[in-house]
Amino acid sequence: MQLTSGPPTPAGLGYAPPHSSQPPISTSYQSAPQPSFTQAPPPASSAPTQPPPPNAPAASQQYYRGPPPPPQPPFNSALPPTSQQQFLSSAPPPPSQQTFPPSFSSSIPPPSCAPAPPVSQSQQPFSTPQPHFSSAPPPVSQPGFPSGPPPPAQGSFPPQPTPSSSQPGSVPPPGPPPTSVTSGQYPTPIQHQQQPPDSQPSPYHSGPPPPRFQMPPTVNHLPPGPQSPPGPQGPLQQPPSPQTGYPPQQNGAFGQTRSPQAGYPGPYPVQPNYGAPAPAPAPAAPAQKRLDPDAIPSPIQVIEDDKAKTNEPFVTGVRGQAPPLVTTSFHVRDQGNASPRFVRCTAYNMPCTADMAKQSQVPLAAVIKPLATLPPDENPPYMVDHGEGGPIRCNRCKAYMCPYMQFIEGGRRFQCSFCNCVTDVPPHYFQHLDHTGKRVDCYDRPELSLGSYEFLATVDYCKNNKLPQPPAFIFLIDVSYNAVKSGMVSIVCHELKSLLDHLPRENPEVDSVVRVGFVTYNKVLHFYNVKASLAQPQMLVVSDVSDMFVPLLDGFLVNVNESRQVIESLLDQIPEMFADTRETETVFGPVIQAGLEALKAADCAGKLFVFHTSLPIAEAPGKLKNREDKKLIGTDKEKSLFQPQVGFYNNLAKECVAQGCCVDLFLFPNQYVDVATLGVVPVSTGGSVYKYTYFQAQTDQERFLNDLRRDLQKHVGFDAVMRVRTSTGIRATDFFGSFYMSNTTDVELAGLDCDKAITVEFKHDDKLSEETGALMQCAVLYTSCSGQRRLRIHNMAVNCCSQLADLYRNCETDTIINYFSKYAFRGVLSNPTKAVRDTLVNQCAQILACYRKNCASPSSAGQLILPECMKLLPVYLNCVLKSDVLLPGADVSLDDRAYLKQLISCMDVADTHVFFYPRLLPVMKLESGSLPVAVRNSEERLSKGGVYLMETGLHLFLWVGASVQQELLLNLFGTPSFSQIDSSMVRGDASLCSCVGSVVVNT
Ligand SMILES: [Zn+2]
């Protein structure tokens, strides 16, 4: 840093004349930024919203909707035989599992899958007792835990071999071979071999909403296509049957139209087949009858059943008990294990040995959301202060005091349940034991009786042994031509004036201590001095972006209340100042560098809010070129498109993490911006990426502002480090989410907000014991928004089993899907997408085949047997397979895919559930006080006379049938006429519509 104090000198420092000592902003603004604009040619008058970037390569004008991807081969390699057999037999269901009626008969009895057969335990060795942890701490019997941190985790992807595209289905089945195969009836889906229409925008676009077609076209009318290769085949080599576990894949999880079948008349035409089996448009082999979709397990039924049976609070004290589904509303009582709102596991009964785990192929993982928001009727984690010595910990493995620690020798020492080491109890923490060996103050201390709590950290837990400064928020606003013309700049500036009153704070009565700073930029950066003593803000321009520095220290980061007038003046003036800009080029790397340097200079952690529009092609560090190449999609080189274009941002991310500088990126692109590269810093720093393609103030403002308000106000911690400790026998080996890791155990998060989840995978490194179960403790050290250093602790104990049946009885499919999606989406960085899909399908097949072989009652070969807990696994996994990341529709841009990939990486289980299996609500059945039961995600379930709201967690879509009653239309849209519905309206007369992002009209 050349400048450490005072205003910079004009000469020789590479920035335009600073004005810190000059008259008020009204004059300095006129002189300062303008010169830098003079070289930019005027925008084309005929294209006011999109001037041709004068220096942009032609390719940068390429739009998202390029040529469609090459035809994707059908899933022809890896469908598990088991799933192909499911509907072929009518053998009676064995206990604790579900079977399905013959699929290819048209006389299918009523939904056999509806209420699941109750689990009968009489014939199964399900007898693991479930000790109550709090009354009987697990006896400690394992040998010593190796001291120090767990051994290095394995590499990232893939922990298991991923078949290359040329070796479909080559994952060696570690489990039992699938039993038998029926054949000859499995049509090859025809959907990926036709060119999709190119007129459909991605649902991720927020831009000018032409009619959108997000609802799935009819998908179930799939007779065998002419290309179906029937014939006997071996396990794992049959073409998949879209009619069994894997329904046809015409649509993504979002349902955007993929490749309509020949003759498909277009989006939501008034089809003759609503509510009835669709006629087959393509020539079909007559032999096969259409599958009754009701024979497939219904997610809605499973969700409703779980709601119905959950009428008591979920108490966490029972080890190995799976919580209610994420779709069920329930109250949690913390009795010693973390609430499922903080931690959800794929399996609550882990196999004792690595062999069992390998045989079953059930992933062992936990999805941890350390700062999750709790409902108002549940207590946030209590704060525990152990005094100057800091939190009491095990001497060896450093696990924090928790309900699993066993006090011995009259309470003078405690034995660690993670590593068995015995540690002295400090005198100030001593307490007598009762006759059961428990401390008499057990229930007075959160750390001895609860699953989740916080410790006040001491200075030993702080960087440089110094208590942290309060964090700062820096707003960096792109003021290039597109940013101004789209309305983004004025919307942001206007909103910030009121939003700054809602900066995060822990006590609503007290002002936030978060300081703020402002930067605008295009090819150069403009810093603003908003010191309270100034009459007007002052601008300092840095035009040499090759070695970014902050030209002022005093007056850049300020307290909002003290500098309110100057800040408001600045926010009023920014849109005016740049209203006539002709600069179309932007930089990006230097923008983040500027924010980072400002936080470094202030010696604090914080968050950057970057509002950015375009591919940064201006000459500067981190400059990018347009590399979007649709021809690579589906090839072995496709993975390169997900990798960052330059290494610059990885290095920058590392620096940001070291400073506790979290970056939230709001993108407003009109063309390719390379989200895969621009997202590197946000993803590595625990930040978020938001994307508003073709942003238009009128239609997208509300969505953007809601995102911004929530993002700015939400509970967030800074400069965080997460560590997961486990009991002997398992260890955390892999992590998925938005963070940075410089070693194999510490998950570093420059920022960690209440919405971010981290998925942690566990592997065996020894045998587990049924008696003691398996323990994990997640500790997150972070700085609160008030500047307090804290440790948040989440403990979780699960059972261990020596019978595979117990594993299958205590799984959670929603969490397994969360793991699978993150695993797969990371896999596209280093593998062809087809190989990733094949891996998923194979693993699913292994899971079910292992169940069939080891747990199910004998049944005919043609029957798929699904464990009760996993009966939706094939359906949900299919949704992952069809997602835009793994199987993009032609209208889905590379940026959309990169965006989704990073978005899913930090989702919790509830998020991934609704994302992959959206909620479809029949609005016409809405009654006051309660939501109607959702409809299964199939176009066939939509009635022409209905209106449906589809929620994905990311978007809301309203689907309006062509025969809707006039009264309903009038209520919703203010018009009685179907043809007069304004599909661009984002706010209707009915309150339900107020948040609908787009209206899909079935014309
Ligand atoms: Zn220990």
Is the backbone peptide bond immediately before 575 cis, with ω within 30 degrees of 0?
A: no
Per the structure block, which two tokens stand in for 154?
């394995």
In the reported structure, the alpha carbon of residue 690 is separated from the centroid of ligand 1 by a whole-number distance in angstroms of 41
In angstroms, rounded to a whole number, what is the distance separating the alpha carbons of residues 790 and 62? 48
Classify strands 758-764 and 365-368 as parallel, antiparallel or unpaired: antiparallel
| pLDDT, tens digit, 9 for 90 and up, residues 123-173 | 333 333 333 333 333 333 333 333 333 333 333 343 333 333 333 333 333
In the reported structure, the alpha carbon of residue 403 is separated from the centroid of ligand 1 by a whole-number distance in angstroms of 13
The residues that bridge with 735 in the sheet, in sequence order, are 760
Nearest CA among 301, 356, 324, 307 for reference residue 115: 301
In the reported structure, the alpha carbon of residue 803 is separated from the centroid of ligand 1 by a whole-number distance in angstroms of 29
pLDDT at position 326? 96
Radius of gyration (Cα) for the chain, nearest Å?
29
In the reported structure, the alpha carbon of residue 455 is separated from the centroid of ligand 1 by a whole-number distance in angstroms of 18
In the reported structure, the alpha carbon of residue 314 is separated from the centroid of ligand 1 by a whole-number distance in angstroms of 29
pLDDT at position 974? 85
| pLDDT, tens digit, 9 for 90 and up, residues 824-840 | 999 999 999 999 999 99
Cβ count within 10 A of residue 376: 6
CA 312 to chain centre: 29
| pLDDT, tens digit, 9 for 90 and up, residues 476-519 | 999 999 999 999 999 999 999 999 999 998 888 888 999 999 99
Instruction: Give pTM, 2 decimals.
Output: 0.74
Helices (H) and strands (E) in the chain, counts: 21, 29
In the reported structure, the alpha carbon of residue 148 is separated from the centroid of ligand 1 by a whole-number distance in angstroms of 9
3-state secondary structure of 827: helix
The residues that bridge with 408 in the sheet, in sequence order, are 413
Residue 538 has pLDDT above 80, yes or no: yes
pLDDT at position 861? 76
In the reported structure, the alpha carbon of residue 396 is separated from the centroid of ligand 1 by a whole-number distance in angstroms of 5
In the reported structure, the alpha carbon of residue 84 is separated from the centroid of ligand 1 by a whole-number distance in angstroms of 48
Cβ count within 10 A of residue 936: 16
Residue 651 has pLDDT above 80, yes or no: yes
Calculate mean pLDDT across residues 657-665: 97
In the reported structure, the alpha carbon of residue 800 is separated from the centroid of ligand 1 by a whole-number distance in angstroms of 20
Calculate mean pLDDT across residues 868-885: 95
The packing angle between helices 873-881 and 833-854, to 10°, is 170
pLDDT at position 342? 98
In the reported structure, the alpha carbon of residue 416 is separated from the centroid of ligand 1 by a whole-number distance in angstroms of 5
| pLDDT, tens digit, 9 for 90 and up, residues 224-262 | 333 333 333 333 333 333 333 333 333 333 333 333 333
In the reported structure, the alpha carbon of residue 738 is separated from the centroid of ligand 1 by a whole-number distance in angstroms of 28
In the reported structure, the alpha carbon of residue 418 is separated from the centroid of ligand 1 by a whole-number distance in angstroms of 5
Residue 943 has pLDDT above 70, yes or no: yes
Residues 6+ apart with CB under 8 A from 913: 326, 327, 814, 817, 818
In the reported structure, the alpha carbon of residue 804 is separated from the centroid of ligand 1 by a whole-number distance in angstroms of 29
In angstroms, rounded to a whole number, what is the distance separating the alpha carbons of residues 847 and 812? 13
* Side-chain-side CA neighbours of residue 422 (13 Å): 8
In the reported structure, the alpha carbon of residue 419 is separated from the centroid of ligand 1 by a whole-number distance in angstroms of 4
In the reported structure, the alpha carbon of residue 819 is separated from the centroid of ligand 1 by a whole-number distance in angstroms of 28
* Residue tagged 């509300």 (tokens): 702
* % pLDDT > 90, the chain: 59
In the reported structure, the alpha carbon of residue 415 is separated from the centroid of ligand 1 by a whole-number distance in angstroms of 8
Per the structure block, which two tokens stand in for 979?
């043809």
In angstroms, rounded to a whole number, what is the distance separating the alpha carbons of residues 456 and 883? 43
Per the structure block, which two tokens stand in for 415?
């034995």
Binned at pLDDT 50, 70 and 90, residue 629 comes out as confident
In the reported structure, the alpha carbon of residue 405 is separated from the centroid of ligand 1 by a whole-number distance in angstroms of 9
In the reported structure, the alpha carbon of residue 140 is separated from the centroid of ligand 1 by a whole-number distance in angstroms of 11
| pLDDT, tens digit, 9 for 90 and up, residues 44-97 | 333 333 443 334 333 333 333 333 333 333 333 333 333 333 333 333 333 344
Instruction: Give the DSSP letter of residue 565.
Output: H
In the reported structure, the alpha carbon of residue 338 is separated from the centroid of ligand 1 by a whole-number distance in angstroms of 19
pLDDT at position 900? 96
Calculate mean pLDDT across residues 959-968: 88
In the reported structure, the alpha carbon of residue 776 is separated from the centroid of ligand 1 by a whole-number distance in angstroms of 12
Quick check: 425 and 414 in contact, CB under 8 A? yes
In the reported structure, the alpha carbon of residue 342 is separated from the centroid of ligand 1 by a whole-number distance in angstroms of 23
3-state secondary structure of 646: coil
In angstroms, rounded to a whole number, what is the distance separating the alpha carbons of residues 719 and 470? 11
Binned at pLDDT 50, 70 and 90, residue 289 comes out as low
Residue 194 has pLDDT above 90, yes or no: no
Quick check: 394 and 727 in contact, CB under 8 A? no
In the reported structure, the alpha carbon of residue 423 is separated from the centroid of ligand 1 by a whole-number distance in angstroms of 9
| pLDDT, tens digit, 9 for 90 and up, residues 434-455 | 999 999 999 999 999 999 999 9
pLDDT at position 343? 98
Quick check: 912 and 814 in contact, CB under 8 A? yes
In the reported structure, the alpha carbon of residue 899 is separated from the centroid of ligand 1 by a whole-number distance in angstroms of 40
In the reported structure, the alpha carbon of residue 337 is separated from the centroid of ligand 1 by a whole-number distance in angstroms of 18
